[in-house]
Amino acid sequence: MCQNVSDILVMMLLLRLTGLIQVDEKGLTSKHDVCGLFETIHDLACAPIIINDLLHMEEIRKYIINQVWFYFATHHCSVMEKYQLCLDILILFAMAVH
């Protein structure tokens, strides 16, 4: 259940402590994705604020970008799929800025 930013950050910390998230010159990288589980109506109501707060953290933005590059490198995607994924991320980042 994801009720605040720390729920996601704690999961990332646990993955880091177990070596499943690495830190290098690019920032955080991992073969595993981390996402919040917004289960209840209250969780869903808080989700935009939580996502916005996460996207204001530079390391989280870098992590998302690194995850996209990892996905591109390990999956065979069409140019259109890559374009759409990049567009979705840009929209998400732009929404967080406002």
pLDDT digits (tens, 9 = 90+) for 50-98: 888 988 898 888 888 888 877 777 778 788 887 888 787 777 777 766 5
Q: Where are the domains of the chain?
A: 5-97
CB 75 within 8 A of CB 46: no
Query: What's the sign of the alpha-carbon dihedral 32, 15, 67, 54?
Result: positive
Encode pLDDT of 5-23 as tens digits.
999 999 999 999 999 988 8
CA-based nearest residue to 55, from 8, 2, 3: 8
CA dist 54 and 76 (Å) reads: 29
Conformation bin of residue 19: beta by default, left when phi > 0, alpha when psi is -120 to 50? left
pTM for the predicted model, two decimal places: 0.71
Token pair for 26: 């690019």
